[in-house]
Amino acid sequence: MNRIYLDNAATTPLDKEVIAEMVKVMETAYGNPSSIHAQGREVRTLIEKARKTVAGLLNAVPAEIFFTSGGTEADNTAIRCGIAAFGIKHAITSKIEHHAVEHTLTNLLKQGVIDKLSFVNIDAKGNVDYAHLEELLQNNERSFVSLMHANNELGTLTDMERVGDLCETYNAIYHCDTVQTMGHYIHDVKKLKAHFIVCAAHKLHGPKGVGFLYVNHGIKISPMIYGGAQERNMRGGTENVYGIVGLAKALEMAYAEMEQHQAYVQDLKTYMISQLQAEVPGITFNGEVAPENSLYTVLNVSFPEMDMADMLLFNLDIQGISASGGSACSSGSNIGSHVLTGIQADPNRPSVRFSFSKYNTKEELDIVVGKLKQLVAQNVTA
């Protein structure tokens, strides 16, 4: 069976050029980057070259880039260490953030590190209520704001510049989870006014287990992971050299191909929307779908009430189609999607997140829509 992979928001296949770059390092550069001998210096040079590449693409300086094990560690470091550095007692987030953010903040509240956690209002499509955000910033002491750039289940985009301007006005610290959008949009940190943004390489055809945290040079935080002096004393532990090299290569390619990639993938998404509307009665879409308001790689589809609704993903899998019912971090959970709950989606209607990459084709989408048409026709509740 030739499987069709439409779960790219969970993880993307490695690009062959990224693999080649990593293999070259694996075969020739085995020294410990903390060692002062020639082999160690060779590997240290690779890490710093990767840091310079990432910084250049973000219009940052290399000293603002810290490599991590991925997006979750980067989010945790930004939130925990950012709040601690400034003694902040009030945090603002939303009900539809990734669990790496939501669970971290609720844990800090439970521990008494922060005294108050406010949730900004969002509408039925996952859009932030900016007037309410300003109200929360106005009526509380200095705040820590954590709002993601694009929701990982809905695709709805938040205006980072607008949030950054509000945070600047009210002297708030701004962290933005950019895991889903890094490499898909230009992130110019000189314009964004965010104190922290994050990356997970496996969301942009890079390796798993590596990411980075951008920390604005105007602030200083302490490490979350202590150990050696790696990452300029900001993250203990021997660096994932192959992963770091792969991350830099993947991000470099993403920026080089961004315009072409965005046009191609947006066309796939637009095509699938039109085909679903034409072929599958009763479907609606969760989140924004207009290109200017929605991440072009993500489409969340709500299907009519049906018998065996909880088996829709399983049936798609049997048919050779890989998709997701929500955030991949919740796979196998019976709790359901906190994001769909947060936008008050109908709990009786099954939803599927389809997420696309440069490797998908319209021919694949025709097959998927055909299978969905059959499954819905067989199982819709009378």
The letter for the amino acid at 187 is: H
When mean pLDDT is compared across 5-19, 236-250, 258-272, 325-339, the lowest value belongs to 325-339
Element spanning 41, H or E: helix 38-58
Architecture of the CATH domain 4-12+257-379 = Alpha-Beta Complex (3.90)
**What is the band of 334 on the pLDDT scale with cuts at 50, 70, 90?**
low
CATH number corresponding to 16-255: 3.40.640.10
Give me the residue spans of the domains in the chain.
4-12+257-379, 16-255
Annotated catalytic residue 199: no
pTM: 0.94
Element spanning 169, H or E: helix 160-169
For residue 132, pLDDT over 90 is answered with yes
pLDDT at 309 (0 to 100): 64
Single out the catalytic residue among 167, 176, 199, 329: 329
**What is the band of 381 on the pLDDT scale with cuts at 50, 70, 90?**
low
**What is the band of 75 on the pLDDT scale with cuts at 50, 70, 90?**
very high
Whether the CB-CB separation of 355 and 326 falls below 8 Å is answered with no
Sheet of 351-355, strands arranged across: 284-286, 298-302, 351-355
Whether the CB-CB separation of 174 and 164 falls below 8 Å is answered with yes
